[in-house]
Structure formats: C-alpha cells, structure tokens
Amino acid sequence: MLIIGRWSTVLVVFLLLVALFSFFLFTGGWKWLGKIAYPLPYKEHIFRYSKQFQVDPLFVTAVMRVESRFYAEAHSRRGAKGLMQIMPETAEWIAEQLNIEYQADMLTEPKYNIMLGTWYISNLNAQFNDNLLLTLAAYNGGRGRVKEWLEGGVWDGKQENVSQIPFEETEKFVIRVWRDYQLYQKLYGENSSVYLRDFLELYLQ
C-alpha cells in the first residue's frame, strides 16, 4: 500500500508538470519569462525620444540591448560610450544637428545617450528609405560604407542576403538586432501573441 501511495503521488506530480509545461508551450502564459530576458528599461526616455524622432521604440530597445545590454557605463575598445554605444565624434555631430550643447561626460547618462542614439537611428533610417536592415548596418559600420555596398552591388539590403555584408562584425550586429527586434515585437507589440515555440525558433536562429 505504501509503494502504491508513493507511485500515485509521483504520477500526480508528473501530470501536474505536464499540464504546466503544456500551458507554457501552447499559450502566452510564459510571456513574463520572456520579458525578463527581454526587458524594457529606460522606457520613459526610449518612448519619449522615439515618438519625437518617429522611430519604433522597440527597434531602439533592440539596438540598445545588443550594444550595451542596458549598461549605462558601457565603453568599447574603440571608444564608443553609453547605452547606445555612440562614438564621441558622432555624438558631437549629432548634438550640432540637434542644436544642443555637446557634453562628452554626459554620454554615459541614459537620457542624453538615448536622445542622441534615437535621433541618429531616425536620421539613418530617413537616408536609407526606412530600410531598417540598412539602418542597422550603417549604425554599426558607417553610412558611407553602406552606400558603397549598395552602389557596388555588394549587398542589396535584403534580409535573405545579409551574409553578403563584407564586415563580419556588422553582419553579426544586423542579425542579432533584427532577431531581438522581432522578439520584442512579439512580447510587447500591439496585439502581440507569442508562444514558447515561436520564441525559441527566433532565439535559436
């Protein structure tokens, strides 16, 4: 009787685990877990400047996640700083376009960095006719290089041809941000519905 009782308990626990797993796998009930991996920090600043400069805040968030993992004090070996990893000379140019004071020591301040980075994304996106993949490539590799690739037929800006990007770092950046952007859309976009299988399919790309 004791053995049968133990097996009954094990069976009940097993069935409960199967039911819980099925709930997470086939419904959106696991979404909160995805939002832990893909959070929306600095939401107030991101949404404010995304609205002002007319870009998708989830796109800005995806760029930020790949660039700095949301660490405001991030510094690269090349000298890029802050949440959106902006080079000081680029930041100075952006400040001139915005007609605001350039403050090098402010590049690690979230509000200032997000404002500059979001405007820069908007500026690049306008130049490349709302092609977000080209915008990403230019953000990482420079707009001049991307123009050369387009004019020289090196890369046409299409997702299926991302492997044609001649810079490995830029290719990986474009792929990673684009994947994260799709995940953010599934987690936070309007009328979003995402299932665990969809999330894993994108995440494991």
Residue 128's alpha-carbon distances to 2, 121, 123, 200, 203, in angstroms, are: 72, 11, 9, 31, 27
pLDDT of residue 5: 52
pLDDT of residue 26: 53
pLDDT of residue 62: 98
DSSP string, 145-182: HHHHHHHTTS--S-GGGGGG-S-HHHHHHHHHHHHHHH
* Tens-binned pLDDT, residue by residue, of the chain (205 aa): 445 555 666 555 555 555 555 555 555 566 788 899 999 999 999 999 999 999 999 999 999 999 999 999 999 999 999 999 999 999 999 999 999 999 999 999 999 999 999 999 999 999 999 999 999 999 999 999 999 999 999 999 999 999 999 999 999 999 999 999 999 998 998 765 555 555 555 555 5
Cα separation, 189 vs 174, whole angstroms = 20
pTM above 0.75, yes or no: yes
Q: Name, in order, each residue with C-beta under 8 angstroms of 159's C-beta and a sequence gap of 6 or more.
A: 133, 178
pLDDT of residue 34: 84
Q: Name, in order, each residue with C-beta under 8 angstroms of 116's C-beta and a sequence gap of 6 or more.
A: 84, 86, 91, 94, 95, 98, 107
pLDDT of residue 32: 80
Topology at the third CATH level for domain 38-203: Lysozyme (1.10.530)
